[in-house]
Structure 1
Amino acid sequence: MKYSTVRNYALSLPEATEAPHFKYQSFRVRDKIFVTVPPGEEAIHIFLPEAQREQALALHPHFIEKLVWGSSVTGVRVTLAGAEPAVVKALVLAAWQHKAPKALRDAHGR
C-alpha cells in the first residue's frame, strides 16, 4: 500500500487536517491526532482504543505491530509494504471515529 493512498483517505474524512508533529506528519480531527507518519513514509501509526487495537494485532500480525509510547501501548504501527488497503482504511476510520466529537461522528454516519 502506498502512503499517498493513506494520506488521501485520511484527508477525505470530515474536518481532517494534516500538520507536522515533531519529526512526524500527523492527521488530526479538531486538533486530536488519529494517525502519525514517521519520516520515510514506510509505516504509519494509528491510535486506536484497546479492543480494536488488539483485534487488529490478532488478525493482521504480518503488517501490524503494537505501538509503544513510553510505557503504554497507544496504537498500532502498520508497515505499508504488504498491508491490505481495506484493513488500513478501516483502521484509519476507526481512529478518526475514536478522536472525533460525537456530533461529527453522527453527521458522518448519515
Structure 2
Amino acid sequence: MTPEDARRLALALPDVVERDHHGFPSFRTGRRGRIFATLPTPEVLRVMLDEGPIREAVAEWPWCREGWWGRRLMTVEVVLAEAEQDAVAELLAEGHARAAG
C-alpha cells in the first residue's frame, strides 16, 4: 500500500476530513473532529484504537506494531509497504467508529 491508498481508504469513511497535525496528515471525524488516524511518514499509518484491538492486530498481521505515547498504548502502526488493503480498511473503520462514538 501507499500513503495515497491509506488516504483514499480513510476519506471514504463517513464525515471524514483531512487536516494537518504537527506537519503531517490526520484524518478526523465527528462533530469535534476527533483524530482516528495519522500519516506521520510515507511509510507508516497510525490508527488510534483501544488496547485490545491494537494487540489483536499486532498478533494477527506482521506488518502491524504497537504505537506508544509515553506509557500508554495508543495506536497500531501499519507498515504500509507490507500491509493488506482489506485489513487496513478494517482497522481504519474500527478507528473511525471509536472516534465517532
TM-score interval (norm. to shorter): over 0.9
**CA shift digits 1:75-105 (9 cap, x unpaired):** 111100111111111000000011113xxxx
Superposition misfits of 4+ residues, deviation over 2 angstroms: none
Superposition CA RMSD, Å: 1.0
Aligned position for 2:29 = 29
1:15 correspondence with 2:15: yes
User: What aligned pairs does 1:21-100 form with structure 2 within 5 A after superposition?
Assistant: 21-30=21-30, 31-39=33-41, 41-60=42-61, 62-100=62-100
TM-score, normalised with respect to structure 1? 0.85
Q: Output the amino acid matched with 1:52.
A: P
Could you tell me the percent identity over the aligned residues? 31
Cα displacement (A) at 1:24? 2.0
How many matched pairs?
99
* Structure 1 gap ranges (5+): 102-110
TM-score, normalised with respect to structure 2? 0.92
Q: Output the amino acid matched with 1:50.
A: E
Aligned position for 1:104 = none
Structure with greater Cα Rg: 1
Greater fraction of residues in strand: 2
